[in-house]
Amino acid sequence: MLTVISPAKTLNYTGANYPHFTQPVVLDQSEQLVKELRSYDQAQLSELMKISDKLAQLNYQRYQDFQTPFTLENAKQALLVFDGDVYKGIHIEDYDEDDLTFAQDHLRILSGLYGVLRPLDLMQPYRLEMGTKLATKKGKNLYEFWGERISDLINAELVKESEPCLLNLASNEYFKAIQQKSIKAKILNIEFKENKAGIYKTIAIHAKRARGLMVDFVIRNRIDNPTLIKGFDSDGYTFNKSLSTTDSWVFCRD
């Protein structure tokens, strides 16, 4: 079983260091995107990414400073850096070597700039959401830039799995980058809902954290059989059979 999640906009490069790392698999593609982004000035970046002038200035400098090769001096492992709502539920500060090894083998982070990241892949700071309409020679947006490449990378990982299942804990924006019809495994979508006056509803901020909690549950319990996911019970969530279907499982809490 392979799990995919979205990246985070918030990055933290000040945490503890870790000596082991890998390199992003398609860093050459990332360099193509950076080359394109370097042609934008701050105002153009602000308009392209729909961000403030301050954030545009920050990311303009990030792309000017981007350089390879990645080392521990100029980059850091992806799972140690991302710091958004999803990642608040992934307690990497408590992980041992075995936890990180399992995560490296069974977790993938989808990325607008890097395509697919393994937890220990080095990355330099960036902001490039998958939905950004960045035009390149390959098309008018990032979905067209990546094309089948992300799906091919995912399939290459799935063939290694004893239970070829793709567990989708990513947002719609990022999961759209995967050509689902070409995935050579069962796709299992997960939803999280809250009880509001007797009606179960998806609350975005809670759902994001719950995705991270499920990633943490999978890693800590070494889950590679999708059936065992039904045992997820963090923060009061339980599997709701009546709201679930074969390919979409719903977890609820009161």
The model's pLDDT over 98-140, given as tens digits with 9 standing for 90+, comes to 999 999 999 999 999 999 999 999 999 999 999 999 999 999 9
State the pLDDT confidence band at 206, using cuts at 50, 70 and 90. very high
State the pLDDT confidence band at 198, using cuts at 50, 70 and 90. confident
Scan for tokens 């290694």, then name that residue: 160
- What's the pLDDT score for residue 162? 77
pLDDT digits (tens, 9 = 90+) for 48-103: 999 999 999 999 999 999 999 999 999 999 999 999 999 999 999 999 999 999 99
Domain boundary assignment for the chain: 2-22+76-253
Mean pLDDT of 17-30: 97
Scan for tokens 């094309």, then name that residue: 147
Mean pLDDT of the chain: 96
